Chains A and B, each alone.
Chain A
Amino acid sequence: MALLEIENLHTYYGHVHALKGISLTVNEGEIVTLIGANGAGKTTTLRTISGLLRPREGRIVFQGEELNNVPAHEIVYRGISQAPEGRAVFTTLTTNENLSMGAYSLGGDKEAIEENRRRVFKLFPRLEERKNQIAGTLSGGEQQMLAIGRALMARPKLLMLDEPSLGLAPMLVKAIFQTIREINEQGVTILLVEQNARAALKLADKGYVLETGNIVLEGTAEELMGDERVRKAYLGER
């Protein structure tokens, strides 16, 4: 069943036509990856789904409901959360306070919040060790864990990750991707934006290739990994 369905989405920044009619489908339980070079429109896609940008045309349908006109701050209540590009942790808040903000949509439900916190700490034990540290002083990798953990605190159905591998050492990328798989196995559907196509396709069930605002290729992860153009442009083969 399609959890998220995007049809013919057009998003602009003023006169800049950043998304030129993209369509994609994310089914329940899947890991779907959106790969593409710098400036392809990956972040724009996620920000449009999250309501931070308004599409000028097209439809975003989540669990059968159209999200086009839902205010950004209500999207998370529908079951979609995002770990944005560049982590964007709240730098002067502690790790724990960042996680609490991730659970803002749960309101005063302390039990659920603490339960989620325990689950996040289980996925990222490092965060528990640093729970009272100011987030701005965490290492880049720890901040990435925090950004993902914070997004998980809302107990989303769909978790969107914008370049979680950005700026991390290969070892850590591996660990983070392993954790993403674990999260998926716990029943969270994942939409993963990546420039690291190799790692993303290894993890994903399905992928879309975005080029300057258009989806130019789509298919299962194996299909894409076997595709000539993908191998040349994104996997660095000749």
Chain B
Amino acid sequence: MEATFRPWYQQGWFYAFISLFLAAVLVLTGYRLSGPVFLQQLVNGLTIGSFYALIALGYTMVYGVLKLINFAHGDLFMSGAYLGFTFLGMLIGAGLSGQLLWYLLPIFLIVMVIVAIAGVVLERTAYRPLRRAGRLAPVVSALGASIFLENAVMLIYGAKYRSYPKEVIPDVRWAIGGARLTLMQVAMLVTAFLLMAALYIFIHYTRVGTAIRAVALDHDTSRLMGINVNGIITLVFVIGPALGAAGGIMVGLYYGRIYFTLGWVYGLKAFTAAILGGIGNIPGAMVGGLLLGIIEAFATGFVSDAWKNAIAFFILILILIFRPTGLLGERVAEKL
């Protein structure tokens, strides 16, 4: 068969370039129009977007290896938020409310481990038995798992809002060009960036990370290489939920309150971000998340909060019309 060459206007780099160019134009005009609002929304958008990105990674990685949308992923993220709340509460109960900051790292680690275990259990019980049952049955199973987790949290913690302790990260603020940057935002951005950079390096520069990409392409050929495909799937159900759990605590810290339907609200956005970036594509989920956060923040800043979802989804639809595989999703050039 003929080799499938894609012309320049269908190449990923072309769209990356266009996106960058548009972003630059937007930044410059936006800044001229109203500098402070613009900067402020950029910072807010990046922060929220980094939450979306962390959650989106779980959707996209599971989709990569199983071609399955893990609808319960948002609820794993939400469980992470509640677990963080519980552990912080326990520390406060132990009279350590002054030192919460120093316990954040261990709390993150413990919660990530617990939610990762939950993710693995979810895969074993809800998805693995249905591996050969077509594509619809696992979707129903995923929805069931989602409802189960949501109700479990509601029964344990109640249906009302719960508040994260406010004093965890010191309230330090800086004024930059009329915008306000908080230590909280910096902490969130740095944490998200470190987690994503670590994942990127793992996926691209290690043997097992490369095996994850191989499994996403072809299970049988991966087995021929000696890759334990079920092991890789388990690993993906460790990494995705762990990152989601970190996102959960971060959302709790940042917004200060959590509720049991948090998983649906953020799950939908993060799923959207994953599609935007190209589902199955790991850098795509990162880009999609940040982009969605920024779009939402600008919609809020320049139009109104009420319109942000409408505008965000309008842009999503536009992008998908012109690039159905998402921004970084590439149709693989296949040959016979």
Is the beta-carbon distance between A52 and B223 smaller than 8 angstroms?
A: yes
Q: Could you say which of A74, A93, A107 contacts B214, with CB atoms under 8 Å apart?
A: A93
Is the beta-carbon distance between A84 and B224 smaller than 8 angstroms?
A: yes
Task: Please give, as numbers and ranges, the residues of chain B lying within 8 Å of A105 by CB-CB distance.
Answer: 225-226
- Number of B interface residues, CB 8 Å? 25
- Mark interface residues in B1-40 (1 if CB within 8 Å of A CB, else 0): 1010000000000000000000000000000000000000
- Mark interface residues in A18-50 (1 if CB within 8 Å of B CB, else 0): 000000000000000000000000000001001
Chain B: minimal CB distance from A215 (Å): 24
Among B175-183, B254-262, B269-277, B328-336, the stretch in contact with A: B328-336
Is the beta-carbon distance between B225 and A137 smaller than 8 angstroms?
A: no
Q: Does A104 contact B (CB under 8 A)?
A: yes
Chain B: minimal CB distance from A103 (Å): 8
Among B159-167, B205-213, B291-299, the stretch in contact with A: B205-213
Q: Does A58 contact B (CB under 8 A)?
A: no
Is the beta-carbon distance between B335 and A50 smaller than 8 angstroms?
A: no
Is the beta-carbon distance between B211 and A101 smaller than 8 angstroms?
A: yes
Task: Please give, as numbers and ranges, the residues of chain A lying within 8 Å of B225 by CB-CB distance.
Answer: 73, 76, 101-102, 104-105, 150, 154
Is the beta-carbon distance between A82 and B218 smaller than 8 angstroms?
A: no
7 interchain residue pairs of minimum CB distance: A105-B226, A72-B223, A76-B226, A136-B333, A88-B221, A91-B332, A104-B225
B residues engaging A (CB < 8 A)? 1, 3, 207, 210-211, 213-214, 217-218, 220-229, 330, 332-336
30 residue pairs bridging A and B, Cβ less than 8 Å apart: A50-B223, A50-B224, A52-B224, A73-B225, A73-B228, A74-B226, A75-B224, A75-B226, A76-B224, A84-B220, A88-B218, A88-B221, A90-B214, A90-B217, A91-B332, A92-B330, A92-B332, A93-B214, A100-B210, A101-B222, A102-B225, A104-B211, A105-B225, A136-B333, A137-B333, A139-B3, A140-B3, A150-B225, A151-B224, A167-B1
